[in-house]
Amino acid sequence: MDDLIELTASAQKHFARLMAAQGGDAAGIALSAVHPGTPAGDARLMFCETTELTGDEWSLQCEGFALYVDAASVPYFKGARIDYVEQNGGGQLNIRAPALKPQAPAADASLGEQVRYLIDAEINPKLASHGGRVALEAITDDMIVVLRFGGGCHGCGMADVTLKQGIEKTLLEKLPQLKGVRDATDHASGARPYI
């Protein structure tokens, strides 16, 4: 596991400065995955106290600090690189962790996996701007994708337009074996539609 994260020398100096400025009451810096495996996947860094450590963390001891990654987050930081770039009197911390975001399914993945990936990676991030989302219900024998809207899309007067001109267009373009998309949502029961 020693090759889990590449922490550049400039990032190590940056973290050591942060720990020194903290005053010595923190045990180290904790790194965790937030919404891993989704388009919103991100990294969270924060100071941590000894009492917050559970003992199953991956840790990296550096001069002036220790970096801790909680056990549940470890798979999402495999091959990650943390760098600090100084510029114009300030700096920018860059965390590159490809496993945090959804990974495209393999070429031999099931049609369901491919549809779910497109929903998570391309469709739901667009719907999220309206507080909405869509989930895969089924794929019929005649290659029709059945979806259920949620959030701001549940009950929205524009759901049919979104379904046909947005979602269906995207899915048929990327997966030409599909024949169409159908909505299984009871829009009359939507509590907070966007429109």
- In this predicted structure, what is the pLDDT of residue 195? 58
- In this predicted structure, what is the pLDDT of residue 74? 93
CB 92 within 8 A of CB 99: no
Rounded-to-integer distance, Cα 122 and Cα 59, Å: 34
Return the CATH architecture of domain 111-189. Answer: 2-Layer Sandwich (3.30)
Greater model confidence, 37 or 81: 81
- In this predicted structure, what is the pLDDT of residue 194? 59
For the question of whether the overall pTM of this predicted structure is more than 0.85, the answer is: no
* Separation in Å, CA 100 to CA 38, 96, 129, 166: 7, 9, 21, 26
Greater model confidence, 89 or 58: 58
Work out the average pLDDT over 43-64. 92
Q: Dihedrals φ, ψ of 154, to 5°?
A: -75, 105
pLDDT higher than 80, residue 186: no
- Enter the CATH code of domain 5-100: 2.60.300.12
Rounded-to-integer distance, Cα 190 and Cα 186, Å: 7
What angle is formed at CA 29 by the lines to CA 28 and CA 30, rounded to 5 degrees? 120
SS3 108: coil
- In this predicted structure, what is the pLDDT of residue 163? 83
Q: Where in the chain is the domain with CATH 2.60.300.12?
A: 5-100
Q: Where in the chain is the domain with CATH 3.30.300.130?
A: 111-189
* Separation in Å, CA 70 to CA 52, 57, 78, 166: 10, 5, 13, 39
pLDDT higher than 60, residue 190: no
Rounded-to-integer distance, Cα 19 and Cα 13, Å: 10
pLDDT higher than 60, residue 1: no
Closest CA to 132 of 154, 117, 147: 154
Average pLDDT, the chain: 87
- In this predicted structure, what is the pLDDT of residue 61? 92
pLDDT higher than 50, residue 73: yes
Share of the chain above pLDDT 70, in %: 93
- pLDDT class for 111, splitting at 50, 70, 90? very high
What angle is formed at CA 131 by the lines to CA 44 and CA 33, rounded to 5 degrees? 15
Q: Dihedrals φ, ψ of 101, to 5°?
A: -90, 160
CB 184 within 8 A of CB 147: yes
Rounded-to-integer distance, Cα 66 and Cα 59, Å: 7
Among all chains, which residue has been given the structure tokens 């965790």?
32
CB 70 within 8 A of CB 57: yes
